[in-house]
Structure 1
Amino acid sequence: MAGGTLTRRGLTLAAAAAVASSTLVRAREKYGAVVVETRSGRVRLQWDVARAQAEGRSPVLRALGIPYGADTGPRRFQPPLPPAPWSGVLEADAFGPACPQRGGEPNQSEDCLRLNVWTPAQIGRRPVVVYIHGGAYSTGSGSSPLTDGARLSARGDVVVVTVNHRLGPLGYASLARLAAGFEDSGNLGQLDLILSLEWVRDNIAAFGGDPVNVTLVGQSGGGAKIATLMAMPMASGLFHRAVTMSGQQVTASGPLNAARRAEAWLAALGLTPSRADEVRTMPVERLLEAAGATDAILGGSLYFGPVLDGRSLPRHPFWPDAPAQSAAIPMMIGNTREETLAFLGNDPANAGLTWEALPGRLTPAQMRIDIDPAEVGGWYRREHPEMNPDQVLIRATTAARSWRAAVIEAEARAAQGSPAWVYQLDWASRLPNGRTGAYHTSDIPLMLDNVRAEGSGAVGADAQAMADRMSDALLAFARTGDPNHAGLPRWTPYSLARRETMLFDLPPQMADDPRGDERRFFGRIPYVQPGT
């Protein structure tokens, strides 16, 4: 009897497998490869049928590693150029190289001006979402599983693009004051992004996208790059909405500080400014190694980021006000409630703190403002007796640094009369060591609907429900410039009178001036953007 039961079960499983295999074959026949024409040549897109079936969604087309610019190696430290046209059909079936960088990013090359496209179909005029990766200005790529565009594309019937560009000294070493021929070297990474947006403008219609409905989305350094683009005249008209997630750029690096950093970088290479031209031909590994020299302004390794060069970036991004050129661009500004848990939460030295030990952990490198750590600890102990020292470390460092810049940008937009939609993520994700909180990067898989992707800390039965609310807000924003949808309470833009903020949690709720006491406490101290 038992044997008969197993046999019937085996036959049932075999039949199901045969049906699934037959369905996949029919789907592949229905969803054949598609070739589109771009200004540089033809590109072949493939349907992700098998993955779509596994995820229970409609298939989308994808094209990976498309060149939007020429190889930067032969013209190192020069503005980017469009790619040379190719003959035949580009088999866009693998991610392109990332910019050379320190760390473990695979597949690095100076031929890194590549982008990736996901689209529900090549016919139509859909909203376009361009995601710019984080990693400050020094690491990362557009090929992370967390930023894969397939699910968002299928969910919202949008075209999704991710981008690689030059980073670190290759993208932001400001040599202009030290040697001739490097006039634009401090903002090359930004110029790469502008070239990628020109590619979108000129080619995305062939992929089913609408070139006059482009939303930029970026987390951390990606958000800071977007804030900088909002003040770059060359970027004007290339995007129509902006979403910055835990990434702000109030001020750029000043030209003198940027030159000091470039000179320190040259010194680490054994060069004087008179020999600066040698960086054009040095092994790239040496250039990256020298970037580990000590930053005389910030401490730690050298900071490379956008520079107030008077050329491509003629003003600070959000100081003394919001840039007029971007006043008509709808903007969403977000942060996470425990941002710095991502940086400090994996260090055992930051767990089990006493009140006596806390001031020693509230270092200038973590607070980023000039304030007495003992005063900070005392204020939290008095005003927030429900918090223990471990919690105060995270909340204080979050409030003093990245959140502070988000508040400044939101205030600037409100004062301009072009208020932003502001959110704070409260829903907790889990770090690899088990600590939980709404930490830096935890909104990426929620906003992009990738909670099951490798590297996601969004775990538990509620993860997809949280992603539904956040990704639908992004999709509504990309479509209309307004993030409201049926899964949220009414979301109103940020005003100086009420400081309206969407708290993303389950359930989500609107709040006026959340953490207002922390905002006021740290707002007494001048904020200086790292790098300035």
Structure 2
Amino acid sequence: MTDQPTVQTASGTVRGRTRDGVATYLGVPYAAPPVGDLRFAEPEPAPSWPGVREACEPGPTAPQNALKSFFGMDMFTITGSQWRRGEDYLTLNIWGPAEGTGHPVMVYIHGGGLVAGTKDAAVYDGRNFARDGAVAVTINYRLGVEGFIAIPGAPTNLGLRDMLAALRWVRSNIEAFGGDPANVTVFGESGGAMATACLVTSPMSTGLFRRAIIESGHGSAVYPQEIAHRATRKMAELLQITPDLNGFRAVDAETSLQALRQVSQAGTVDMRDESGFDPSFGQGVINPIVGDDVLPRHPLIALGEGAGRDVDLLIGTNENEFNFWLAPTRLILAPRFLMRPLLRRLGGDAHGILAAYRQQNRRARGGEIISRIMSDLAFRWPARQYAAAHQGRTFFYEFDWYSPASGGRLGAAHGLELPFVFDTLAAVSGPRGWLGKNPPQHLADRVHGTWLRFAADGNVPWLEFDRTTRIVQRLTRGFATPEDTLPAAAFIPPPALDLEDETAA
């Protein structure tokens, strides 16, 4: 039996659907459509509507270049659909228990490198969080050019500003959906985790959430404005416009996406700093920007100064992050003589890091060593840096279940924890799925239950992490151990204090 509950929000009444004890509301606006004068502007409150708004369809998505398949593997379940055109895409989905009040709230920020993805991917279905007593929220936000390119004359970090607007909406409205606005956990994966890490340190997020979960992300993938403007100028050159607000408003989103695709190709724009370091390691030009009111300080510096100390933190990585890109393409099988060409885009001491990892992986193929290097450089070590810098309660995990997909080469790849977190294994299983045919439900019960417990009271069943003890919980093996420093630590410089001070001034 399906009921049709209605809820009054600040902008008007929405009607959802209730089934099997879970009330669902899809496509609820939290901000006005970012078009016309609101394009490249700070998010404004959603305009009110008369009568009752049906909230049964997810609605449009943010403009993006997206893939539906990836070398024979189904991307739809991970990223959501390709761009669904429409202006009113600053919306969110809500799943909550049909009865009761004061439930913990979990707000999810999707991944996709801040250039792709939606709140609507099958793996992000929040009904099982609601089934187990939480109110789950997933959000859209501006991506790519619309959300993160530094455009002179426009506010920076518009995608982060959208997330803050969504969190403010949750604080003001979620009680009507059965949630506790004083018990909010924000969590995200990949690009969404990078954003979450930034929000923890932002002065604009104070009071919006009590806890944060950062899955395969950290706060180091940020650019000062002077470096971010390199991509802006190159895009303007390709688009034949002035590199400012008027210029970018003169071209439509689809045209801008075509230029972004070109600019994002390796080697097109040099995003390295004075020391030769690029926190994206040549993988793109879109990152949050340091030096504005959202991120006045580099997140690691801000953490060291006490930012986010009142936020309970659960952070972790996957054992074979970079297999996500190398296993389906079979580059994971590359022989050793190809390692050096594959590492050239890194900049910095590519020879030194190759020597360090080759020594520790004497029997590995070249592609496997590259995956270990990139997993550690881009994800595993920066996440541990972030955890060590956080002055509040901090717990660290490593996801270590190996998928049989891609001929058993996928391993514990980037994003693989998501169906276990949401308890949505069926969405990512099958012949073309990321989990193979029979993923372990008992592991989903454990991981999903851990995330729920943390959202409820800030606790998990293992000891805290700090820079001395370095306790890491192995989620599949079910035990926590102290961990040594990773070899990548010697090849990632700390944030540039002098540059940071100049940027924030």
TM (norm. structure 1) is 0.83
The Cα shift of 1:152 comes to: 2.1
Aligned to 1:360: 341
Aligned to 1:13: none
What are the within-5 Å matches in structure 2 for residues 374-453 of structure 1? Answer: 375-385=352-362, 387-413=364-390, 416=391, 418-432=392-406, 434-453=408-427
Aligned to 1:343: 325
How many residues in Structure 1 have an aligned counterpart in Structure 2?
Answer: 465
Q: 1:34 to 1:320 in 2, by over 3 A?
A: closer
Aligned to 2:75: none
The Cα shift of 1:358 comes to: 3.0
Residue 125 of structure 2, aligned match among 148, 157, 176: 148
- Equivalent position SS for 2:337: coil
Q: 1:106 to 1:321 in 2, by over 3 A?
A: closer
Aligned to 1:85: 48
Task: Pick the structure with greater CA Rg.
Answer: 1
Task: Please give the alpha-carbon distance, in whole angstroms, between the structure 1 residues aligned to 2:308 and 2:33.
Answer: 31
- Equivalent position SS for 1:304: coil
Task: Please give the alpha-carbon distance, in whole angstroms, between the structure 2 residues aligned to 1:151 and 1:340.
Answer: 29
The Cα shift of 1:106 comes to: 3.6
- Equivalent position SS for 2:451: helix
Matched to 2:397, the amino acid is Y
Task: Please give the alpha-carbon distance, in whole angstroms, between the structure 2 residues aligned to 1:524 and 1:270.
Answer: 42
Residue 283 of structure 1, aligned match among 245, 252, 277: 252
- Equivalent position SS for 2:213: strand
Task: Please give the alpha-carbon distance, in whole angstroms, between the structure 2 residues aligned to 1:434 and 1:226.
Answer: 31
Q: 1:207 to 1:323 in 2, by over 3 A?
A: farther
Aligned to 1:55: none
Aligned to 2:9: 38
Q: 1:438 to 1:84 in 2, by over 3 A?
A: same
- Equivalent position SS for 2:236: helix
Matched to 1:131, the amino acid is Y
- Equivalent position SS for 2:473: strand
Task: Please give the alpha-carbon distance, in whole angstroms, between the structure 2 residues aligned to 1:500 and 1:218.
Answer: 22
TM (norm. structure 2) is 0.87
Residue 150 of structure 2, aligned match among 170, 174, 197: 174
The Cα shift of 1:213 comes to: 0.4
1:65 aligns with 2:27: yes
Deviations 1:344-383 (Å, cap 9, x if unpaired)?
11223441x3333333333434xxx62234x444444433
- Equivalent position SS for 1:394: helix
1:370 aligns with 2:332: no
The Cα shift of 1:430 comes to: 3.6
CA contact (8 A) 1:122 1:207 kept: no
Deviations 1:62-92 (Å, cap 9, x if unpaired)?
0000010001012111101011111111110
CA contact (8 A) 1:231 1:323 kept: no
Q: 1:494 to 1:212 in 2, by over 3 A?
A: same
1:469 aligns with 2:446: yes
Structure 1, unaligned stretches of length 5 or more? Answer: 1-27, 49-57, 485-490
Structure 2, unaligned stretches of length 5 or more? Answer: 68-81, 273-280, 501-505
Matched to 2:336, the amino acid is W
Deviations 1:410-465 (Å, cap 9, x if unpaired)?
1112xx3x241000011112445552300000011111111111465234555211
Deviations 1:130-181 (Å, cap 9, x if unpaired)?
1100011111110000111012221x210000000101010112123xxx4x
Which stretch of structure 1 is more off in the superposition, 80-89 or 279-288?
Answer: 279-288
1:478 aligns with 2:440: no
CA contact (8 A) 1:77 1:188 kept: yes
CA contact (8 A) 2:422 2:448 kept: yes
- Equivalent position SS for 1:472: helix
Aligned to 1:124: 101
CA contact (8 A) 1:317 1:323 kept: no
CA contact (8 A) 1:99 1:111 kept: no
CA contact (8 A) 1:426 1:503 kept: yes
CA contact (8 A) 1:230 1:323 kept: no
- Equivalent position SS for 1:325: coil
Task: Please give the alpha-carbon distance, in whole angstroms, between the structure 2 residues aligned to 1:77 and 1:462.
Answer: 43
CA contact (8 A) 1:127 1:209 kept: yes
Percent of paired sites with the same residue: 29
Task: Please give the alpha-carbon distance, in whole angstroms, between the structure 2 residues aligned to 1:267 and 1:497.
Answer: 49
